[in-house]
Amino acid sequence: MDGDRVEIDGGVMEGGGQILRVSTALSCLLGLPLRVRRIRAGRSQPGLRPQHLSGLEMIRDLCDGQLDGGEIGSTEITFTPGKIKGGTHIADTKTAGSVCLLMQVAMPCVLFAASPSELRLKGGTNAEMAPQIDYTVLVFKPIIEKFNLTFDCDIKRRGYYPQGGGEVIVRMSPVKQLSPINLTERGTVTKIHGRAFVAGALPIKLAKDMASAAVRCIRKEIRDLYVNIQPVREPDNQAFGTGSGIIIVAETSTGCLFAGSSLGKRGKNSDRVGIEAAEMLLGNLRHGGAVDDYLQDQLIIFMALANGVSRVKSGPITLHTQTAIHFAEQLTKAKFTVTKSEDEDSTKDTYFIECQGMGLINSSL
């Protein structure tokens, strides 16, 4: 069997957990035995962290696969996938490891299961170095559903750094095939809204300060729109531990969505948190693309699996996106091309990501 294993170098390009997520999901979907070496070689603590391991174990369990080298700190794994099955799948990072990253690895797989699935994901919902669950619900979900799929995301409890303790339940039905997407018309911004939150021991005043600092920052650049950022205190029974942060979403006339977000931490001024999120949003709006910088790489695996040509207009191509494209091409028959957009005024740094998808068919439907 080892002769047929696809060899993945986990230390190239982005050199982090994303290589593992993309390659194991595609291995599972395509029935390709895999060996990943030099896992997270580019990180200060190389090898598997708890969230990567729980993601791998969930993938193994949802396809009755075989995983070797699956322990914390391991820098090499081999994975032999079986048949993808629906039903309830549980993953618990037991830390503040991101539930959103767990969702990223499992979701493409269960779309091609034989029956509906329920993913019970435990860990951090609003954690550093990962999308916040609010981003997943407000931006990722409506855009990803354009591939002709639907899912439901129920936030049972929010969890923050360092303990985690959050829980999200994702329910989805399988599809026969994914449709390609066309996200190339930016449109004009029609609405900006968001939420600034505190949980646990923190006073609501922090949320109000984050919200008003963010609004002031956005107003300097966008004067003619009402910016509605709600300060909220998470109910104690719906949040574990103490945390704070903000997410702001802009919607456009063509249905594009862009976001900016930031998390509070000890010693960080709440105005700073609000301004960071606002500046991130404004940066995402300036480049003229139709997706924000964080959605870019999350679309790649779906584009590779879809049946037909997908086109996405984006800002500068992130290293995460380049990495996702590299491994999607290595593992599937999909072909990507990235071209700089010429039609704009030359001040804009925009690109077209085009993909001829492989048209994966769910053989169990």
Residue 218 is part of a domain; what is its CATH number? 3.30.360.20
Please indicate, yes or no, if residue 365 is contained in any of the structural domains: no
DSSP character for 2? G
Give the end-to-end CA distance of the chain in Å, rounded to a whole number.
Answer: 28
Helix (H, G, I), strand (E, B) or coil at 150: coil
From 268, 287, 306, the end of a domain falls on 287
Residue written as token pair 């060996």 = 35
Asked if 274 and 262 touch (Cβ cutoff 8 Å), the reply is: yes
Please indicate, yes or no, if residue 335 is contained in any of the structural domains: yes
Output the six-digit token pair for 139.
């931006």
Same domain, 74 and 208: no
Domain that holds residue 127: 6-183+291-358
Q: Is 18 annotated as a binding residue?
A: no
In this prediction, residue 344 carries a pLDDT of: 59
From 236, 257, 287, the end of a domain falls on 287
- Predicted confidence band at 161 (pLDDT cuts at 50, 70, 90)? very high
Q: Is 297 annotated as a binding residue?
A: yes
Among the listed residues 264, 289, 286, the one whose alpha carbon sits nearest the alpha carbon of residue 275 = 264
Strand-pair partners of 337: 354
Please indicate, yes or no, if residue 281 is contained in any of the structural domains: yes
Same domain, 212 and 128: no
Please indicate, yes or no, if residue 238 is contained in any of the structural domains: yes
Helices marked H in 123-203 — which ranges?
Answer: 133-135, 141-144
Same domain, 108 and 194: no
Residue 52 phi/psi, 5° resolution? -70, -40
Among residues 52, 89, 287, 320, the one annotated as catalytic is 320
Q: What is the mean pLDDT of the chain?
A: 96
Strand-pair partners of 37: 9
Determine the Cα–Cα distance for residues 182 and 269; give it in Å rounded to an integer.
40
Among the listed residues 43, 5, 42, the one whose alpha carbon sits nearest the alpha carbon of residue 24 = 5
Catalytic site includes residue 320: yes
Determine the Cα–Cα distance for residues 239 and 237; give it in Å rounded to an integer.
6
Q: Is 285 annotated as a binding residue?
A: no
In this prediction, residue 342 carries a pLDDT of: 84
Q: Is 295 annotated as a binding residue?
A: yes
Q: Quote the crossing angle between the two packed helices 50-62 and 17-30, to the nearest 10°.
A: 0
Output the six-digit token pair for 261.
């977000």
In this prediction, residue 4 carries a pLDDT of: 84
Q: Out of 120-129, 194-203, 286-295, 340-349, which region has the weakest mean confidence (pLDDT)?
A: 340-349
Mean pLDDT confidence for 95-110 = 96
Please indicate, yes or no, if residue 364 is contained in any of the structural domains: no
**Percent of the chain whose predicted confidence (pLDDT) is above 70:** 98
Same domain, 199 and 246: yes
This prediction's pTM: 0.97
Same domain, 73 and 145: yes
Please indicate, yes or no, if residue 1 is contained in any of the structural domains: no
